[in-house]
Structure 1
Amino acid sequence: MEKLKIFSFLLYFAIYFQSVGQTKYFVLENNTKDFEVSRFTMNTQSLYGINREVILFNLLKKEDTLIGEDGKLNGQSDYNIILFSILPNLTGKEDWEKIDVDTIQSSFITLDELEQLHTKNSLSYFNNVVKDTTKYFNTYKIIVKKENNYYVPKFCLLQFYSVRNRPHVFTNVYGTINTEDSRYTIIEFEKIFKETYPRLDFPLNRIDKEPLSFMDWTRDRKEYLSKKFTLKNNLIGYQFWTYIDWTKHDFQYDFERGIDRFLYLPGKGIIGGSFDFYFYFHRKKLPIKYSDFIQNIKEEKLMIADSFK
């Protein structure tokens, strides 16, 4: 068993470093007309006990849905979110590094390619092979321009959401934000889970357990609306949590968990959240314990952008 774990460890890092070498880059241009951009900064102190920052880049684009036979829209304009999350470099002080864009132009991706990734990872097709990952960690990175220089983050997570607000009787597939959905807190859902599966651990609490090779878990993955949140200036945000198990060994980044709890503000995108997969991986560098991670999950604690506190 120990030899198998060592082999898995070496294989994981071989694949990881190979993927880093194949990183694709999206250059965030100023004054773009193709989508709206919102940027939010969160401090990690209150949640993870360390004074660093997480930056969220929301790329929002309207999506006209529900076209009728007469060619007219039958509903509101929904929109899609492409979310880049910049995570702190916990082995150093700098989260960004200067980059010469002329040397990596062959690795650039366009907005159209990002939108294709969005479709690929937010819709389920009956003829597709089941996917156990829908997010990308350091495989795709955003590049930002500051004055005359370009910068790229050292640690970047890319994930996708579709905002589709409608009554809860309609299906919400994995990756859907629906502010009209039924509300369940994590504690309420855990109680239902225990009544249904009394011999199983609640998936969110399996943070220190060996991952299960149990593909049926992927059937249930979903973002659940938990509560409304009153923000600065009486703005109303919506707090969600992601029903997903822990899928990797403790020496791996379990990045499919993504921003596992998050705060959504209509018109702005995601303005707060938690990244337990990343900070638990670096837990030895933090002043918080395993029990703190579990308590944060139960209480649905998250970071909120400084501008909305």
Structure 2
Amino acid sequence: MKKAIATASVPRVATRLVIAVFLTIRKCVFSYLNTATRWTLSVPGNKMYTMKLVRYFLLLYLCVFTYITVLGQLPDGFNKAGAMFRDSNSTSGLKYILLDPSVLSQNIKASKVILKKSLYTAPKQTDLTIEIFNIFFDESSLAVFSVMPSLHIQNPEWKKININSIKSQIITLSELKDTINSKLDSYPVKDRGIIDPLKYYNYVLVIKKADGYYFNTTDCITEFFKIVKSTNNNPAAFKIDTNSKMLSIAEYESGYRRKHGEYSSNFSSSENSYFNDDVKDIPRLNLSYVVDDKGKKAYKFWLLDQWVVHNSNFRRGMDRFTFKPGVGVIAASYDFYMNGLINYWYNKNNLPPIVDKSSKIGNGQYIVTPYFTYYKPLLLEYLDEQVINYTSVTNLNVDSKVE
């Protein structure tokens, strides 16, 4: 199988350029200090002053270099606003979905699910929260809105808005239903050779509350699904088929590895295959397990698609999720989004261990340990089909918690 060719993303190239400039400046300053030191040391009484100057510069260099190489780098795909897709200074191209729980019809059911990812950082735990809004239309089509945290805030952010200011951009639930059915019926439609993945990032939820309307300012991942119980075994990326043949990730990857000698391109590693013939036409959404949730059946699904190494994988959406009939998605993983975000918050909030001054590193330096060490922990999460689990589920039709 062909291997992936590593292509640096724009943020990474910019970071390397900044580091190159910094190293050039450092070289010039060190050259100056070297000359200045030889001159000042030749003058009696200047030795102590010069040594202090050198120490101060080295301390400044260490701080700046640490910031640039560790904290100064944004995770791949994220912008300075702390998001992947939302720009706080622009509303161009956004579509506002109005969700008013007080006027939901009998044919539309909605639920709100809170997911929480806990990072065991010191001195206190860091919790990253995702809010999922499931909207069913006639129990046959489903829209899933996942409102994400960002680099600046651990929870989805909502702000109050004057509904009249976006009146012309509002899409009602009835209009959304027509859009979903049209896209599902015409799948797979190709735009310039690319299949519409039914995953979007320009939808904004506007929630009606008692004191007014609120909209999400952090990223919202929107996905459309068709709920079916088919008699064939041909999974498609947009079909939640609770009657399909079960195939786990571990079973699939075991067979793929025996055949090709490596894991498939569905897993995010440059060591894996570059292209997978199993999804050369369309992605697949596979049913892996039927599990129990509060005495009722829930179904675990996973996406089989190509993972593009060192590039944006936003077309994947949820990599794995748990679906509960009548409720919607109650657990999920967003590897393309959350892996970088988790690493960022882990390094930001975790106090790194102080190295013993008597050690070889010495001088009280710090070691910054990534949350995900290279390859194996991520591989185990993938093969084990781990997801971010819910802490609460609320039925918005009656505005009460059901779990």
Any stretches of 5+ residues in structure 1 without a counterpart? 63-77
* Residue 141 (str. 1) matches residue 213 (str. 2): no
Match of 1:164 among 228, 237, 246: 228
- Matches of 2:12 and 2:275, distance apart in 1: 14
* Preserved contact between residue 47 and residue 302 of structure 1 (Cα < 8 Å): no
* Residue 29 (str. 1) matches residue 91 (str. 2): no
TM-score, reference length from structure 1: 0.78
Equivalent residue, structure 2, for 1:119: 181
Match of 1:263 among 322, 332, 341: 322
Deviation track 1:172-200 (CA, whole Å, cap 9, x = no partner) reads 3221111111111101001222344x166
- Matches of 1:285 and 1:165, distance apart in 2: 41
The code of the aligned residue for 1:266 comes to: P
Equivalent residue, structure 2, for 1:285: 344
- Matches of 1:175 and 1:246, distance apart in 2: 18
Deviates more, 1:113-122 or 1:146-155: 113-122
* Residue 57 (str. 1) matches residue 133 (str. 2): yes
Distance 1:123 1:216, change over 3 A: farther
* Preserved contact between residue 90 and residue 282 of structure 1 (Cα < 8 Å): yes
* Preserved contact between residue 198 and residue 238 of structure 2 (Cα < 8 Å): no
Structure 1 segments, 4+ long, off by >3 Å, are 1-10, 15-20, 46-50, 119-133, 135-138, 207-218, 247-250
- Matches of 2:140 and 2:250, distance apart in 1: 30
Distance 1:126 1:26, change over 3 A: closer
Equivalent residue, structure 1, for 2:146: 85
- Matches of 1:216 and 1:19, distance apart in 2: 39
Count residues in correspondence: 287
- Matches of 1:45 and 1:273, distance apart in 2: 14
Deviation track 1:227-274 (CA, whole Å, cap 9, x = no partner) reads 111122x11111111112223634x3x222111111111111111111
* Preserved contact between residue 41 and residue 55 of structure 1 (Cα < 8 Å): yes
Deviates more, 1:41-50 or 1:53-62: 41-50
* Preserved contact between residue 210 and residue 249 of structure 1 (Cα < 8 Å): no
- Matches of 1:204 and 1:107, distance apart in 2: 36
Any stretches of 5+ residues in structure 2 without a counterpart? 15-76, 347-370, 394-402
> Over alpha carbons, which structure has the higher Rg?
2
Deviation at 1:54, TM superposition (A): 1.0
The code of the aligned residue for 1:32 comes to: L
* Residue 244 (str. 1) matches residue 305 (str. 2): yes
Deviation track 1:99-144 (CA, whole Å, cap 9, x = no partner) reads 2222111211133442344235434558755534424443011111
The code of the aligned residue for 1:229 comes to: V
* Preserved contact between residue 330 and residue 389 of structure 2 (Cα < 8 Å): yes
* Preserved contact between residue 61 and residue 81 of structure 1 (Cα < 8 Å): yes
* Preserved contact between residue 323 and residue 329 of structure 2 (Cα < 8 Å): yes
- Matches of 2:275 and 2:179, distance apart in 1: 26
The code of the aligned residue for 2:224 comes to: F
Identity score, percent: 21
Match of 2:241 among 175, 178, 201: 178
Deviation track 1:145-193 (CA, whole Å, cap 9, x = no partner) reads 22222211211010011110122x2533221111111111101001222
The code of the aligned residue for 2:283 comes to: R
Match of 1:221 among 283, 288, 299: 283
Match of 1:44 among 102, 112, 117: 117
For 1:9-28, what aligned pairs fall within 5 Å after superposition?
21-28=92-99
- Matches of 1:36 and 1:247, distance apart in 2: 36
Equivalent residue, structure 1, for 2:388: 303
RMSD: 3.6
